Chain A
Amino acid sequence: MSTGTASNRPRYAPLAPDPRARAHLLVTDHQDIAEAAFAPGIGLADFPERWDVVAHALVLPEPFGGPGVQHFRSASHLLALLRHRLAAETMGLRLYVTGSEPFVWDAARVAIEAGMGREEMRLFATGKPVRRVSCVHCRTINPGVTTTLVTCAGCGVVLTVRDHFSRVHNAWMGVQCDAEVPGEVPAIEDLSA
């Protein structure tokens, strides 16, 4: 295993069905999955059971519905029923997760808590970079951060997002950017730049 970069930024391999698996479940917090999420020659049709998020969906999703597409009202709705589904699962299921990075690691946490190992899940984050940032000083989680600086909703200091990601907390470390000299704030940059 080689990281090859001065960062613990998660890196993702495009998704492809594991031929050794008994069953496959693909979950996403998007409605449309980017082609980039799949390995060459692989597409949606290779994942017969899919869960996605469609706001205001008027049909209740069936967590044990088998092949087909199930629509959930939100990522939180999906994760709650994923927890329910995985609690009843047996060996041989592979979970594939794609979508925003915070969603991907939320789903991974649900799978780990259900007893799945890292070999039983495949993750791929797509879309515009968005991060949860944990303020190391006051412990407030700041969701939806798309820039290198963010004002902490808990204590009000301007945090710089350190290149340090916790898969356990599903958060990046935020540290006060002007602690040494108050007001000495670096230029703000867009994470997708």
Chain B
Amino acid sequence: MATRFKSDETFRDDYRYGNSDEGVLRFPFPFVEDSYMYSVNMEPHTRSATPGVFAAAFDVDEHYVTECAERARALALEPGRCMVLPHMRDAEWDTLELIMESLALDYPDQFTLERHGLDWTWTNRPLGIHQSFRFGDATTLPHPPFEYIVRQAQGDFTLQDQRDGTLYIDGGVATTPADWSLAFDVGMTFHEWHGPVPLAHQAGVFDRALQYLMRIRYGEPARRLNWTMTVHPRLDTSPENYPLWGPDRAGLTAENIGSQLFLRVELQSLFRLPRSNALLFGIRTYLASLDDLTRVPKWGRRLHRVMRDLHPDIAGYKGLTRYHDVLVAHLAQFDDGEPTTPGIAADIAVLPA
């Protein structure tokens, strides 16, 4: 089924955003059981046989056009949100190739890549782009190759260089960050940039995750889901702009929390890049309001149980502490005490009216 792209959404200022019923049902609900704790929840990023967010290497959904517009707006205001260290040039071209090839393979009606040696022509129909360029020659593109292609993709990306037995975050684009700063973190090792995360270090999660990541091979990408919560459908929850979005947390009430609080899920994917041996880390953000999610009975029950029993340190790290009581009280009405099935599936094909 062809995706109908929304054209009038905004992710800042007046916050015009919404999910269709199909958008809700395909939402990557992140809780596989009725409780949550950090784990190395990695799995192969293989294309699922059934439609949904796992059916493509880089999922393109109904928010594609408006999210690309939001990225352009964010980069116009703050160009430092995209930066790549000079030694990552090969990784930039690797990224461009991977995303172009994947989009053309997964969505042939929307994207086309024609190659004649190093002379390539890229067609992006949803954004109305038709670009001929020479692969490897940055002067033939309107932006540097990494920036050029991530402006046509949903979600943030970082580039990890692998050396000294660890991964260094040596480039990326972060216009949709969940409270982390690319400008501050650039050049850090894997353990350094995860420094502020509570509990997981003691559990050895990052030591094991790093070992897993450094062994990811070309053509065998991996993925995991991560989550937090955001007031309003705001993609730019950067620490830089915390004074702009922080006050919204204090404005939640029992009356507005259902429509104003969004579960923010990151589909994180990792790809080994062929020339640079770098890792491309995709951080694709999905937003759904509590009102959206609680239309699915299983998700409403489970969300209540997960939030009610959430470890206070995790709630604190994710910024939920201020409104946690209001959140749990709101969700209680959707929990009838019935058991839930394992896994993240919605278990319904059509949303109740």
- Chain A residues close to B by CB (< 8 Å): 1-9, 117-118, 134, 136-137, 157, 162-169, 173, 175-176, 179-181
Contacts and interface: CB of A to CB of B under 8 A. Distances in A.
Nearest to A10: B192
Interface of B is mostly: loop
Given A168-B186, A180-B246, A181-B247, A173 B197 contact: no
Contacts of B242: 136-137, 175-176, 179
B250 A181 contact: yes
Contact of B207 (A1, A117, A169): A1
B206 interface: yes
A162 B196 contact: yes
B201 A6 contact: yes
Interface in B243-287: 243, 246-247, 249-250
Indicate the size class of the contact surface on chain B: 20 to 34
Given A5-B201, A137-B241, A166-B187, 15 more contacts: A1-B191, A5-B202, A6-B199, A6-B202, A7-B201, A8-B194, A9-B195, A134-B184, A137-B242, A165-B195, A176-B246, A179-B246, A180-B247, A180-B249, A181-B247
A173 B239 contact: yes
B343 interface: no
Interface in B137-184: 164-166, 181, 184
A134 B202 CA distance: 27
Given A1-B207, A166-B187, A137 B196 contact: no
B83 to A, nearest CB: 12
Nearest to A2: B207
Task: Say what secondary structure dominates the interface of chain A.
Answer: loop
Contacts, number: 87
Nearest to A157: B243
Contacts of A157: 243
A7 B195 contact: yes
19 contacts: A1-B191, A4-B202, A5-B202, A6-B196, A6-B198, A6-B201, A6-B202, A8-B193, A8-B194, A134-B184, A137-B239, A137-B243, A163-B195, A166-B184, A168-B188, A173-B181, A175-B239, A176-B243, A180-B249
A66 to B, nearest CB: 31
B240 interface: yes
A179 B243 contact: yes
A137 B185 CA distance: 14
A128 B118 CA distance: 58
A22 to B, nearest CB: 22
Given A8-B192, A118-B164, A181-B247, A173 B187 contact: no
Nearest to A136: B239
Given A1-B165, A136-B239, A173-B239, A167 B192 contact: yes
A79 B215 CA distance: 39
Contacts of B194: 8
B311 interface: no
Contacts of A167: 187-188, 192
B322 interface: yes
Contacts of B191: 1, 3, 8
